[in-house]
Amino acid sequence: MSLDATYTRELPLVEGKTSFKEIDDVIAKPTETKPNIKWFIAIGISSTAFLVGAVCLGLTFWYGVGLWGNNQPVGWAFDIINFVFWIGIGHAGTLISAILFLFRQKWRTGIARFAEGMTIFAVMTAGIFPAIHTGRPWLDGYLFPYPNQNGLWVNFTSPLLWDVFAVSTYFTVSFVFWFIGLIPDFATLRDRTTSGIKKAIYTMLSLGWRGSNRHWQHYERVYLILAGLSTPLVLSVHTIVSFDFAVSVIPGWHTTIFPPYFVAGAIFSGFGMVSTVLIIVRKVFDMEHIITVNTLEKMNKILLATGTMVGYAYAMEFFIAWYSGNPIEQFTFINRAFGPYAWAYWIMFSCNVFFPQLFWFKKIRRSIPLTFVLVLFVNVGMWFERYVIIVTSLTRDYLPSSWGMYFPTMYDFGILLGSFGMFFTLVLLFAKTMPVVAMSEIKAVTEGAQPKHLHKKEEKIDYRTEF
């Protein structure tokens, strides 16, 4: 092959010739200026939804879980559906930051910080539901180790305790990972601000960062170690969540495909939510040249891949049920697709399998409005996936005499709305008070940031005289 062969040029990660100072100005602008009317409208809507959820939750505490639609046989309903859904949303942040960092994928730089923040907020939202699911939240302290004369951990054998281990570990590591990445940017904001209060806060948060060579060496080493610790957590947390279902004997739950199935679905839904929020943020805060269409296109490719994996898992469920020869198992999946909850199943299947296949077309992958609509479908479909798994399996058990239907109440929908309100309120506050994009990482991938060596034509060099 000749030396002058041409290759496909990688598109720039930051559009235009932007200086380092302009990058700092754009990213720091939301934290230094008063919020605009768009932000106030958004925070008003999200906080109202949060308030509605808080009122419904307060009434639940006062009157009990009898306000919900839970019944016999559907003892698990919106509470566990929402828990599994929000835990799934929280997977994309660590995946983008940790795994893509280990693989040295530079396109993650524009979206990693925001995805990490969304991980924290999604896990915080998810943590509410196991606490209220038991019906006696004042006893939730027994889930944690406390001093007692017998040296025992109460209810250690409960599978739900596995979630406490997994989710608390995941939250802790993700929070530290997110905070460590913020330290250089906190120092930048500390040096830029003129407010005494802000300067004191940023000085405390930056931990004495001065940007010296020694600081950068320690920072990169810690960041790499935390990325390595976070990677198995991405795969393990939702695996453990799936064990809540797989260890039971309920038809439709008792299957070994659940761990990889749940992990693929979690990454799928997480990327969908990250894309949903990023499309709004890049427009509101004028970051189109930093969070580029090329970055969103790469995320759409991951959505296409994970959506195909989820579709394969759906097909495998039916194959396993047929191949097992178990009539109960076969009935369960036929009932899912053609029974009384067939509408939910086909909403799930359409949103998670059919619609993401449109990302095969480049024009659709690079179209912001179409991408926004499709990722909304992804979020809806993944919520319905959890609904189908939980509700259809419980309504049709082994004994026809114990069959029943599930109808959610207004309090179920209110708490669901409140969870979205809480999540988006935290996201908006984060976008206003902290840099949503890593300044130092963006600067490293801008055009002209790295030295380039121009190669001259090959010449014969006499090394005896040259040196």
Q: Where are the domains of the chain?
A: 20-145+159-445
Encode burial over 103-131: b for 16+ CB neighbours within 10 A, e otherwise: eeeebbbbbbbbbbbbbbbbbbbbbbbbe
Euclidean distance between CA atoms 369 and 358, whole angstroms: 13
Distance of alpha carbon 237 from alpha carbon 323, whole angstroms: 29
CATH of 20-145+159-445, one of 1.10.3720.10, 3.40.1110.10, 1.10.10.10, 1.20.1630.10: 1.20.1630.10
Q: What digits encode the pLDDT tens for the residues 136-147?
A: 777 777 766 666
Residue pLDDT, tens place only, 25-55: 777 777 778 888 888 888 999 999 999 999 9
In this prediction, residue 245 carries a pLDDT of 87
pLDDT at 413 over 90: yes
Region 239-248: what's the mean pLDDT? 87
So what's the pLDDT on residue 8? 47
User: What does the mean pLDDT of the chain come to?
Assistant: 83
Calculate mean pLDDT across residues 288-310: 87
pLDDT score at 457 = 47
- In the prediction, which pLDDT does 448 show? 59
Pair of tokens at residue 152: 């025992």
Closest CA to 409 of 2, 59, 44, 50: 59
Q: At what angle do helices 258-284 and 78-89 cross, to 10 degrees?
A: 70
- pLDDT category at 460 given cuts 50, 70, 90 is very low
- pLDDT reported for residue 463: 41
pLDDT at 197: 86
What pLDDT score was predicted for residue 140? 75
| CA dist 200 → 203, 207, 215 (Å) | 5, 11, 21
What is the 3-state secondary structure of 276-344? HHHHHHHHHCCCCCCCCHHHHHHHHHHHHHHHHHHHHHHHHHHHHHHHHCCHHHHHHHHHHHHCCCHHH
pLDDT in tens, 338-354: 989 999 999 999 999 99
pLDDT over 90, % of the chain: 25
Q: The whole model's pTM is what?
A: 0.87
1 or 217, higher pLDDT: 217
Record the tokens describing residue 310, joined without a space.
């989820």
Least confident of 6-15, 38-47, 102-111, 352-361: 6-15
Percent of the chain with pLDDT over 70: 86
Asked if the model's pLDDT at residue 375 lies above 90, the reply is yes
Q: How far lies 418's CA from each of 8, 118, 412, in Å?
A: 47, 16, 10
Q: What pLDDT, on a 0 to 100 scale, did the predictor assign at position 147?
A: 64
Of 70-79, 188-197, 226-235, 356-365, the range with the highest mean pLDDT is 356-365
pLDDT at residue 125, rounded to an integer:
92
Query: Cα separation of 90 and 118, whole Å?
Result: 7
pLDDT of residue 277: 86
User: Does pLDDT of 451 surpass 70?
Assistant: no
For range 235-251, the mean pLDDT: 86
CA dist., res. 126 & res. 83, Å (int)? 5
DSSP one-letter code for 9: P
Q: What is the pLDDT, as a whole number, of residue 96?
A: 79
- Who has greater pLDDT, 208 or 413? 413
pLDDT band at residue 444 under the 50/70/90 scheme: low
Q: What confidence tier does 309 reach under pLDDT thresholds 50, 70, 90?
A: very high
Nearest to 98 by CA among 118, 82, 116, 83: 116
